[in-house]
């Protein structure tokens, strides 16, 4: 295995890189160069292969394996955990875990009842419950040490070594594809219910005839259409921006540990980094919970607007 020394810029870029799988220059699908290097011979830190698999050239269809893997893993854990709680639920002697789950369920149900008027729709309640739990679990990954999962995935080697899996981004929400993919699902539901409840003509009429009437249709479209879609795009970007910023702060704090044992100055920086990391982690707990709640309640509000007729 080849190794290289990482400066602060390289360290930050390393932790912002996803484990990428996509199409290489020979038309075959592989992991990007230096992402997975099991059994490969390296020369000057470059794989000796007759083709190139550069991450930036893989295009739109490339898959971020770490984002997909962590999202599916956390979603599966969430489903399994609540399935076990429901299976072992007791009316006479509920456990503490059951009481906590029921409290969370009642909280989400109260939010839905207060903000969603169409009681005939049975999808919004389970959808909201799934969103708040799944997003919270994905956000919670931000509290793990930034080097822990990459260190494990890299074969228990440091980031200065190209190990079996050199890149692994544990926070799915810090990859814009995850929150925007979730927002896209909400966008599809908004359009589906808007057309179902109002008809295609009624839905298009809201975007073209308001607020100034049919004689000002071009102006109405300039006002309504950008605003209508900007809210839906912001649903994903808001979640991504807040968690990406939080992850960046954790990465910057981690730079304090770079020279932990080198000198008394490095030890002082390391201790300061530990205290700073603890303080930010405590504050960040509020952020990850708040962002899960905000994504959930905005979903309920937007779907309620899709059901409203004028």
Domain boundaries defined on the chain? 66-156+173-307
Report d(CA 205, CA 207) in Å as an integer.
5
The residue ranking higher by pLDDT, 94 or 302, is: 302
Q: Which of 200, 206, 197, 238 is nearest to 225 (CA)?
A: 206
Tell me, what's the pLDDT at 40? 46
The residue ranking higher by pLDDT, 219 or 46, is: 219
Tell me, what's the pLDDT at 240? 93
Decide: 291 and 135 in contact? Cβ < 8 Å: yes
Confidence of residue 22 (pLDDT cuts 50, 70, 90): confident
Report d(CA 295, CA 182) in Å as an integer.
10
Confidence of residue 161 (pLDDT cuts 50, 70, 90): low
Decide: 178 and 135 in contact? Cβ < 8 Å: no
Confidence of residue 217 (pLDDT cuts 50, 70, 90): confident
Tokens 């931000």 locate to 142
> Which range, of 22-36, 153-167, 294-308, averages the lowest pLDDT?
153-167
Tell me, what's the pLDDT at 12? 77
Q: What are the structure tokens assigned to 150, written together?
A: 């990459």
Tell me, what's the pLDDT at 293? 95
Tell me, what's the pLDDT at 39? 42
Kindly tell me if the per-residue pLDDT of 154 is higher than 80.
no
Tell me, what's the pLDDT at 4? 47
Report d(CA 57, CA 54) in Å as an integer.
5
DSSP the chain: --B----HHHHHHHHT---EEEE-TTS-EEEPTTTB-TT--EETTEE--SS---GGGS-TT-EEHHHHHHHHHHHHHHHHHHHHHHHT--SSS--HHHHHHHHHHHHHHHHHHHH---TT--SHHHHHHHHHHHHHHHHHGGGS-TTHHHHHHTTS--TTB--SB------GGGSTHHHHHHHHHHHHHHHHHHHHHHHHHHHHHHHHSTTT-GGGHHHHHHHHHHHHHHHHHHHHHHHHHHHHHHHHHHHHHHGGGTTTTT-HHHHHHHHHHHHHHHHHHHHHHHHHHHHHHHHHHHHHHHHHHHH---
Q: Which residues contact 172 (CB under 8 A, 6 or more apart)?
A: 66, 67, 70, 71, 74, 138, 141, 178
Decide: 197 and 307 in contact? Cβ < 8 Å: yes
Report d(CA 65, CA 244) in Å as an integer.
18
Mean pLDDT of 245-274: 72
Tell me, what's the pLDDT at 169? 85
Kindly tell me if the per-residue pLDDT of 229 is higher than 60.
yes
> Which range, of 4-13, 32-41, 265-274, 296-305, averages the lowest pLDDT?
32-41
Report d(CA 100, CA 18) in Å as an integer.
35
Task: Choose the most confident range, by mean pLDDT, from 107-111, 218-222, 274-278.
Answer: 107-111
Segment 127-148, tens digit of pLDDT:
999 999 999 999 998 888 877 7
**Ramachandran angles phi, psi of 17, nearest 5°:** -95, 130
Kindly tell me if the per-residue pLDDT of 299 is higher than 80.
yes
Report d(CA 73, CA 61) in Å as an integer.
22
What's the mean pLDDT when you consider all of the chain?
Answer: 82
Tell me, what's the pLDDT at 143? 86
Decide: 138 and 172 in contact? Cβ < 8 Å: yes
Cα–Cα distances in angstroms (integers) from residue 17 to residues 48, 227, 254, in the given order: 22, 33, 16
The residue ranking higher by pLDDT, 229 or 263, is: 229
- What is the phi-psi region of residue 18: left when phi exceeds 0, alpha when psi lies from -120 to 50, beta otherwise? beta
> Angle at Cα 291 formed by Cα 297 and Cα 166, nearest 5°?
135
Tokens 């996803």 locate to 18
Confidence of residue 73 (pLDDT cuts 50, 70, 90): very high
């Amino acid at each position: 295995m080849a190794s290289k020394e990482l400066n602060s810029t390289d360290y930050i870029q390393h932790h912002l890189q996803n484990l990428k799988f996509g199409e290489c220059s020979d038309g075959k699908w592989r992991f990007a160069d230096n992402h997975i290097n099991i059994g490969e011979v390296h020369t000057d830190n470059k794989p000796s292969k007759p083709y190139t698999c550069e991450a930036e050239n893989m295009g739109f269809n490339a898959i971020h394996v770490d984002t997909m893997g962590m999202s599916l893993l956390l979603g599966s854990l969430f489903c399994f955990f609540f399935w076990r709680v429901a299976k072992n639920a007791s009316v006479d002697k509920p456990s503490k875990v059951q009481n906590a789950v029921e409290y969370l369920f009642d909280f989400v149900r109260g939010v839905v009842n207060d903000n969603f008027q169409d009681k005939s729709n049975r999808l919004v309640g389970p959808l909201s419950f799934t969103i708040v739990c799944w997003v919270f679990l994905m956000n919670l990954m931000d509290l793990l040490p930034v080097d822990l999962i990459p260190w494990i995935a890299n074969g228990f080697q440091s980031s200065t070594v190209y190990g079996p899996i050199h890149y692994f981004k544990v926070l799915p929400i810090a990859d814009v594809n995850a929150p925007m993919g979730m927002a896209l699902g909400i966008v599809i539901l908004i359009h589906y219910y808007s057309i179902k409840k109002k008809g295609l003509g009624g839905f298009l009429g809201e975007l073209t005839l308001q607020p100034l009437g049919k004689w000002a249709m071009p102006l109405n479209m300039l006002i309504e259409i950008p605003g209508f879609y900007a809210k839906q795009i912001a649903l994903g970007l808001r979640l991504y921006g807040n968690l990406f910023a939080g992850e960046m702060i954790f990465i910057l704090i981690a730079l304090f540990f770079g020279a932990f044992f080198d000198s008394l100055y490095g030890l002082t920086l390391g201790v300061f980094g530990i205290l700073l990391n603890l303080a930010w982690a405590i504050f960040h707990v509020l952020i990850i919970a708040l962002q899960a709640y905000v994504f959930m309640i905005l979903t309920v509000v937007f779907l309620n607007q899709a059901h409203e007729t004028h």
